[in-house]
């Protein structure tokens, strides 16, 4: 067994804060929309607003960490080799869609420099560079439309609400799938434990490249 | 009377003298019932007559000699004393020497309150002044003599009288019974008058005096007044009624008070009274004023340029009046300007507009002095005029004059006027709305302008002239109760709505500024609880202030309504009903029918979208800007105490909030009012409304229902992936075990 230090401490903290934040935000979001009633509306809004700002700070931690350490490149697909990247992505998809069932090895073997498989790379880039910022910004707009009226007014606050709600729906589904995929390590809890400890365990023979 | 003559025969000396005197006095009393002295005699005689038998017997000479005389003197004195006591009571009965029948009638008709309502609702007084009647030449005539047939009708109670006029005519016909027409027609003056009026109009009815009194010793003026003091009129050819009545005392006090009537009315005299006919009052005035120049030649009057120019436009009587002409003694050199102007304008002057309206140019000197303008000279406002200049101006109508005049106010009150020009009142005024107020409509006539600085009452009373319908709801408010308690600066209308730049409160948040004038720091106050953590920002309160009216929370028990106000995004102004109708190719009446495609009298979500997309396709960037307000203006005025206000977030922010049940699509009508078309409350929660009402967002109220459905679908989808995947893994697990065993678990 080989131990790879895949998740540095700041990233682990960021990740688990995010997990907690997302779950509560999704629930209070549902509460605000009136489809569950865990809290009173007033408290649901308060919690939602507080957590929104916490996750904004959290996102900044993530951003600064990855930019300052230049590790941000792990999120960026090798667009200079598009064909190669596409082939790898298909291989990865084949693994999840077929190989995994018949006992194939995961084609991707993570290392600190190549943390994500091509599918992860594309989806995490989308999420981190686009969806979360959009969710944070639209959240801010809804938090105080008047403060951002210079942009909210001409566009219309309902448009931002629609975007925010769509992403809430997306993240709700994402959280489920994300959790499920996290159980697909060499053992069910391997990836999850790694996310706490920082070290990913890998069988010695598992080198694809 | 036999006894009398018998008595006379036997009584002699002092006694006979006494009885003769009594008889004489009695006769006189019959003739002059008014004389108290003879009246007393009448009583005495009565006593004498009643006691005659016992009276003359003792008074025979033998009895006289027997010394019984003194007893009788005592008796007489006692009678005299009783008569003296009875005198005041009996005086009345004997005094009015009128017929017995009249006495009977007068038992009722001497009552001042006796009236009859005629068929045309006129009230005819049936009162007869007994004293005056008893002086009349007709006093001895029975009532029935003139009121023939009335007595019988009176009893049957079936006499109907159409009008006073008709009654006078009928009553006058009776006169000819004694005064035949041919006799009356002999008098030339009378003959002409008889054709015009009824007898009673000139002569009166119950108090007719003898002809001697009627004419003799009368001056010409008095003679004319015998008729013209009465309310006589003349019907002119155009149907106008010209009053021929002249107020005697006003005439006497006028500068012409000493002139005989014929000085100005040369055609008339005590013997001549031609009947004339005039087309109209104006024609009569033109004719009548010709007489003025007899004494006041034109060249003399035109010496004053002011008067000269006025003469060209108006007839003498229009400014000076006719029988009430007053002397105008203006010491031009010494009179101050205001006095100079008032020398004419304190009279009943008026000017005629081109459309025939007449505007009084009378100024009450006293109220001018007491007004806020009391210390100003006339020319301060009326700049075109001075002691040497009096231009003649002509205006189309009183309205046109008012428009022109309003500019006068702006000279000294430019700020107020500029504000006014922005008001809804001015917009309506300019559009020709006759009820729209201008400066003087609220402040009172320019010459009696109230001082408003210290007294705010004007800000209530003047508004109530037109807006009285809101007064009762204002009186139900905490504002009014504060005013009743005498709280200084307790608000009246103008406190919130402003005095001059009054705006329509519809489709605007302007009225809030009115609240904030007194309720300072409201953002801060609300921010104490109305905030969104983690940072407390005033914008969060301002956001609510933009979309929710003060009254929506502070008018207890009011019904709330969500107004989707239609605005044009390009101009930022409200869309008017007319414009919307025009874009949709219909008129304002057919607007709802055009929008409400399924004709259920309520706009649903898809119809809202239809209206939106129709207007967008016509190039109108419409938006339906949401606002929560109370449902009626009355509710907006009955504001309650602070403790009664709504403060719970969920009251509004809940998908089932009562406050979001009434929804209306609102358009401006252009004159400051709005038209509200009812809409379904569910339309706010439909995807159709996202774009039309893209600027209206209220947690709960505008939740788009479809998104919740999508959320459930996403959850199901999200769970389906792992479930499916796990299922596949279970299905494939035998293959996996096989490969592990066969190939050592290694591929490639």
State how far residue A112 is from chain B, nearest Cα, in angstroms.
Answer: 25
- Report chain B residues whose CB lies below 8 A from the CB of A143: 532
**B458 and B486 part of one domain:** yes
Q: Nearest CB to B708: which of A33, A41, A180?
A: A33
Q: Using DSSP, state whether B211 is helix, strand or coil.
A: helix
Q: In sequence order, what DSSP letters do the residues of B404-434 get, joined into one string?
A: HHHHHHHHH-HHHHHHHHTSHHHHHHHTT-T
At residue A113's C-alpha, the angle toward residues A111 and A118, to 5°, is 80
Please name the residue of chain B whose CA is at the shortest distance from the CA of residue A151: B695
**What is the distance, to the nearest Å, from the Cα of residue B75 to the centroid of all Cα atoms in its chain?**
73
Judged by CB atoms closer than 8 Å, whether chains meet at B693 and A142 is answered as no
Burial class (CB in 10 A: 0-12, 13-18, 19+), B343: middle
- Between B419 and B47, name the one with better pLDDT: B419
B439-456: burial string, b at 16+ Cβ within 10 Å, e else: bbbbbbebbbbbebeeeb
Q: What's the rounded mean pLDDT across residues B401-429? A: 84
Contacts of B474-481 spanning 24+ positions with Cβ under 8 A: B474/B637, B474/B638, B476/B637, B476/B638, B477/B637, B477/B638, B477/B639, B477/B640, B478/B639, B478/B640, B478/B641, B479/B639
Residues 506-565 of chain B with CB under 8 A from chain A are 532-534, 537, 539-540, 542-543, 546
β-bridge mates for residue B241, sequence order: B235
Of the candidate ranges B97-111, B471-485, B530-544, the one whose mean pLDDT is the lowest: B97-111
The residue from B95, B129, B161 where one domain ends is B95
Judged by CB atoms closer than 8 Å, whether chains meet at B537 and A144 is answered as yes
Q: Nearest CB to A173: which of B649, B650, B714?
A: B714
Is residue B649 pLDDT above 80, yes or no?
yes
Token pair of B440, please? 């003087």
Is residue B94 pLDDT above 60, yes or no?
no
β-bridge mates for residue B679, sequence order: B603, B663
**B354 and B426 part of one domain:** yes
> Is B80 inside a domain boundary?
yes
Contact B589, B681 (CB under 8 A): no
pLDDT over 90, % of chain B: 21
Q: Tell me how long chain B is.
A: 748
Contact A89, A119 (CB under 8 A): yes
**B221 and B358 part of one domain:** no
Is residue B44 pLDDT above 60, yes or no?
no
> Is B205 inside a domain boundary?
no
- Report chain A residues whose CB lies below 8 A from the CB of B729: 100-101
State how far residue A75 is from chain B, nearest Cα, in angstroms.
Answer: 24
Contact B636, B467 (CB under 8 A): no
Q: What pLDDT is recorded for position A172? A: 96
State how far residue A33 is from chain B, nearest Cα, in angstroms.
Answer: 6
| Mean pLDDT computed over every residue of chain B | 79
Domain that residue B319 falls in: 217-327
pLDDT tens for B556-591 read 888 999 999 999 999 988 899 999 999 999 988 899
Q: Collect all residues with Cβ–Cβ distance below 8 Å to B652 and sequence separation of at least 6.
A: B548, B628, B646, B659, B660, B698, B700, B701
Is residue B114 pLDDT above 90, yes or no?
no
> Is B559 inside a domain boundary?
yes
- Report chain A residues whose CB lies below 8 A from the CB of B731: 101
Q: What's the rounded mean pLDDT across residues B3-30? A: 43
Is residue B308 pLDDT above 80, yes or no?
no
Report d(CA B702, CA B680) in Å as an integer: 13
Is residue B653 pLDDT above 70, yes or no?
yes
Please name the residue of chain B whose CA is at the shortest distance from the CA of residue A174: B718
Token pair of B1, please? 């009377």
Pairing of strands B663-668, B560-568: parallel
Report d(CA A207, CA A4) in Å as an integer: 13
Q: What pLDDT is recorded for position B3? A: 36
What kind of fold does domain A2-202 have according to CATH? Fumarate Reductase Cytochrome B subunit (1.20.950)
pLDDT over 70, % of chain A: 97
> Is B402 inside a domain boundary?
yes
Contact A103, A55 (CB under 8 A): no
Confidence of residue B17 (pLDDT cuts 50, 70, 90): very low
Nearest to B246 by CA among B261, B230, B262, B234: B230
Q: Using DSSP, state whether B234 is helix, strand or coil.
A: strand
pLDDT tens for B515-566 read 898 899 999 999 999 999 999 999 999 999 999 999 999 988 889 999 999 9
Q: Collect all residues with Cβ–Cβ distance below 8 Å to A83 and sequence separation of at least 6.
A: none
Q: What's the rounded mean pLDDT across residues B708-736? A: 94
Q: What pLDDT is recorded for position B93? A: 47
**B335 and B353 part of one domain:** yes
The four Cα atoms B378, B380, B382, B388 give a dihedral, to 10 degrees, of 70
**B619 and B551 part of one domain:** yes
Contact B83, B44 (CB under 8 A): yes
Q: What pLDDT is recorded for position B83? A: 57
Contact A57, A66 (CB under 8 A): no
Burial class (CB in 10 A: 0-12, 13-18, 19+), A138: buried
Confidence of residue B247 (pLDDT cuts 50, 70, 90): confident
Judged by CB atoms closer than 8 Å, whether chains meet at B695 and A144 is answered as no
Please name the residue of chain A whose CA is at the shortest distance from the CA of residue B739: A103
Using the Cβ of B743 and the Cβ atoms of chain A, whether some distance falls under 8 Å is answered with no
pLDDT over 70, % of chain B: 79
Using the Cβ of B623 and the Cβ atoms of chain A, whether some distance falls under 8 Å is answered with yes
Using the Cβ of B616 and the Cβ atoms of chain A, whether some distance falls under 8 Å is answered with no
Confidence of residue B38 (pLDDT cuts 50, 70, 90): very low
- Report chain B residues whose CB lies below 8 A from the CB of A50: 533-534
Nearest to A128 by CA among A184, A182, A82, A71: A71
**B617 and B553 part of one domain:** yes
Contact B230, B156 (CB under 8 A): no
Q: What's the rounded mean pLDDT across residues B90-115? A: 70
Of A22-31, A66-75, B160-169, B257-266, highest mean pLDDT:
A22-31
Judged by CB atoms closer than 8 Å, whether chains meet at B745 and A103 is answered as yes
Is residue B18 pLDDT above 60, yes or no?
no
| Count of beta carbons in the 10 Å neighbourhood of residue B664 | 19
DSSP category for residue A145: T
**B445 and B465 part of one domain:** yes
Judged by CB atoms closer than 8 Å, whether chains meet at B722 and A161 is answered as no
Place of tokens 């008070």: B257
Contact A134, A53 (CB under 8 A): no
- Report chain A residues whose CB lies below 8 A from the CB of B721: 176-177, 180
Beta strands in B674-725 (DSSP E): 674-679
Report d(CA B498, CA B475) in Å as an integer: 19
Q: Nearest CB to A144: which of B540, B732, B747?
A: B540
Confidence of residue B62 (pLDDT cuts 50, 70, 90): low
pLDDT tens for A47-92 read 999 999 999 999 999 999 999 999 989 999 888 889 999 999 999 9
Q: What's the rounded mean pLDDT across residues A188-203? A: 90
Q: Nearest CB to B703: which of A34, A42, A147?
A: A34
Q: How many domains does chain B have?
A: 5
Report d(CA B46, CA A148) in Å as an integer: 116
- Between A208 and B336, name the one with better pLDDT: B336
**B545 and B677 part of one domain:** yes
Q: Using DSSP, state whether B367 is helix, strand or coil.
A: helix
Q: Using DSSP, state whether B221 is helix, strand or coil.
A: helix
Nearest to B423 by CA among B501, B350, B511: B501
Q: What pLDDT is recorded for position B328? A: 61
β-bridge mates for residue B359, sequence order: B351
Using the Cβ of B654 and the Cβ atoms of chain A, whether some distance falls under 8 Å is answered with yes
Place of tokens 């029948």: B101
Judged by CB atoms closer than 8 Å, whether chains meet at B714 and A170 is answered as yes
Burial class (CB in 10 A: 0-12, 13-18, 19+), B608: buried
Predicted TM-score of the model (pTM): 0.62
The residue from B327, B347, B379 where one domain ends is B327
Q: What pLDDT is recorded for position B490? A: 85
State how far residue B505 is from chain A, nearest Cα, in angstroms.
Answer: 22
Of A100-114, B244-258, B298-312, B592-606, highest mean pLDDT:
B592-606
Is residue A176 pLDDT above 80, yes or no?
yes
Q: Nearest CB to A158: which of B693, B722, B735?
A: B693
**B623 and B609 part of one domain:** yes
ipTM, 2 dp: 0.95
Judged by CB atoms closer than 8 Å, whether chains meet at B718 and A146 is answered as no
**B288 and B432 part of one domain:** no
**B317 and B391 part of one domain:** no
**B698 and B715 part of one domain:** no
Contact B677, B603 (CB under 8 A): yes
Q: Nearest CB to A147: which of B534, B537, B707?
A: B537
Using the Cβ of B67 and the Cβ atoms of chain A, whether some distance falls under 8 Å is answered with no
Of the candidate ranges A60-64, B50-54, B425-429, B655-659, the one whose mean pLDDT is the lowest: B50-54
Please name the residue of chain A whose CA is at the shortest distance from the CA of residue B730: A101
State how far residue A158 is from chain B, nearest Cα, in angstroms.
Answer: 5
Nearest to B577 by CA among B594, B600, B598: B594
DSSP category for residue B136: S
């Amino acid at each position: 067994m080989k131990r790879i230090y895949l998740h540095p401490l700041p990233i682990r903290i960021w990740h688990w804060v995010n997990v907690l934040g997302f779950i509560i935000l999704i629930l209070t979001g549902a509460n605000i929309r009136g489809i569950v009633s865990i809290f009173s509306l007033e408290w649901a809004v308060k919690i939602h607003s507080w957590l929104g700002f916490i996750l904004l700070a959290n996102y900044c931690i993530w951003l600064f960490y990855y930019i300052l350490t230049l590790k941000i490149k792990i999120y960026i697909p090798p667009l200079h080799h598009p064909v190669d990247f596409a082939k790898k992505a298909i291989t990865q998809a084949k693994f999840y869609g077929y190989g995994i069932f018949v006992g194939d090895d995961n084609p991707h073997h993570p290392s600190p420099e190549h943390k994500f498989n091509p599918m992860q790379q594309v989806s995490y880039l989308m999420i981190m560079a686009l969806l979360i910022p959009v969710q944070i910004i639209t959240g801010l707009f809804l938090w105080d439309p008047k403060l951002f009226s210079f942009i909210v007014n001409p566009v219309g606050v309902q448009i931002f609400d629609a975007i925010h709600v769509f992403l809430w729906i997306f993240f709700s589904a994402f959280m489920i799938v994300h959790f499920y995929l996290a159980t697909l390590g060499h053992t069910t809890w391997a990836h999850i434990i790694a996310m706490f400890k920082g070290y990913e365990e890998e069988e010695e023979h598992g080198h694809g490249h | 009377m036999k006894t009398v003559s018998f008595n006379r025969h036997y009584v002699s000396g002092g006694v006979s003298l006494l009885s003769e005197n009594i008889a004489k006095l009695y006769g006189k009393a019959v003739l002059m019932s008014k004389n108290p002295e003879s009246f007393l005699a009448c009583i005495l005689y009565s006593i004498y007559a009643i006691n005659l038998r016992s009276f003359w017997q003792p008074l025979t000479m033998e009895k006289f000699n027997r010394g019984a005389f003194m007893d009788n003197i005592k008796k007489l004195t006692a009678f005299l004393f009783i008569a003296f006591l009875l005198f005041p009571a009996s005086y009345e009965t004997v005094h009015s020497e009128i017929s017995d029948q009249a006495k009977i009638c007068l038992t009722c008709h001497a009552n001042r309150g006796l009236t009859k309502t005629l068929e045309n609702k006129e009230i005819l007084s049936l009162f007869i002044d007994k004293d005056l009647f008893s002086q009349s030449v007709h006093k001895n005539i029975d009532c029935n003599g003139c009121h023939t047939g009335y007595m019988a009708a009176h009893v049957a109670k079936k006499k109907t009288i159409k009008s006073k006029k008709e009654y006078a005519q009928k009553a006058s016909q009776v006169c000819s019974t004694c005064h035949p027409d041919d006799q009356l027609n002999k008098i030339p003056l009378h003959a002409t008058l008889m054709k015009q009026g009824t007898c009673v109009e000139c002569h009166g009815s119950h108090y007719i005096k003898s002809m001697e009194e009627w004419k003799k010793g009368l001056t010409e003026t008095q003679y004319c007044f015998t008729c013209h003091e009465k309310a006589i009129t003349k019907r002119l050819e155009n149907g106008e009624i010209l009053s021929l009545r002249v107020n005697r005392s006003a005439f006497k006090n006028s500068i012409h008070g000493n002139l005989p009537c014929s000085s100005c009315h040369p055609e008339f005299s005590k013997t001549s009274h031609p009947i004339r006919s005039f087309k109209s009052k104006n024609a009569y005035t033109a004719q009548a004023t010709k007489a003025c120049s007899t004494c006041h030649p034109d060249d003399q009057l035109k010496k004053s340029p002011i008067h000269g120019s006025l003469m060209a436009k108006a007839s003498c009587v229009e400014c000076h009046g006719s029988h009430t002409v007053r002397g105008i003694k203006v010491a031009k050199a010494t009179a101050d300007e205001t006095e100079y102007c008032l020398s004419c304008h304190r009279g009943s002057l008026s000017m005629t507009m081109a459309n025939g309206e007449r505007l009084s140019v009378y100024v009450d000197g006293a109220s001018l002095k007491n007004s806020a303008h009391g210390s100003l000279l006339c020319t301060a406002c009326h700049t075109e005029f001075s002691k040497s200049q009096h231009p003649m101006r002509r205006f189309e109508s009183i309205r046109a004059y008012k428009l022109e005049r309003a500019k006068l106010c702006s000279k000294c009150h430019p700020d107020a006027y500029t504000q006014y020009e922005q008001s809804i009142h001015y917009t309506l005024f300019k559009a020709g709305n006759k009820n729209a107020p201008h400066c003087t409509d609220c402040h009172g006539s320019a010459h009696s302008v109230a001082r408003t600085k210290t007294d705010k009452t004007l800000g209530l009373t003047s508004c109530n002239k037109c807006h009285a319908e809101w007064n009762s709801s204002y009186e139900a408010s905490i504002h009014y109760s504060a005013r009743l308690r005498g709280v200084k600066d307790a608000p009246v209308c103008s406190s919130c709505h402003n005095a001059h730049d009054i705006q329509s409160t519809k489709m605007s948040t302007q009225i809030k500024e009115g609240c904030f004038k007194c309720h300072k720091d409201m953002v801060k106050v609300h921010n104490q609880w109305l905030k969104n953590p983690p940072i407390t920002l005033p914008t969060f309160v301002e956001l609510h202030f933009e979309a929710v009216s003060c009254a929506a929370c502070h008018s207890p028990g009011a019904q709330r309504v969500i107004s989707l106000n239609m605005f044009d995004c390009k101009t930022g102004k409200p869309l008017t009903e007319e414009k919307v109708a025009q874009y949709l190719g219909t008129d304002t009446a057919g607007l709802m029918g055009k929008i409400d495609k399924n004709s259920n009298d309520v706009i649903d979500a898809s119809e809202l979208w239809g209206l939106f997309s129709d207007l967008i396709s016509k190039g109108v960037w419409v938006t339906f800007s949401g606002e929560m307000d109370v449902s009626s203006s009355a509710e907006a005025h009955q504001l309650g105490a602070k403790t009664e206000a709504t403060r719970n977030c969920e009251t509004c922010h809940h998908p089932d909030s009562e406050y979001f049940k009434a929804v209306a699509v609102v358009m401006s009508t252009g004159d400051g009012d709005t038209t509200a078309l009812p809409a379904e409350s569910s339309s706010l929660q439909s995807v159709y409304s996202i774009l039309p009402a893209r600027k209206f967002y209220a947690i709960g109220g505008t939740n788009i229902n479809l998104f919740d459905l999508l959320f459930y679908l996403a959850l199901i989808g999200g769970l389906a992936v792992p479930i499916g995947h796990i299922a596949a893994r279970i299905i494939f697990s035998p293959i996996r075990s096989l490969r592990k065993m066969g190939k050592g678990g290694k591929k490639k």
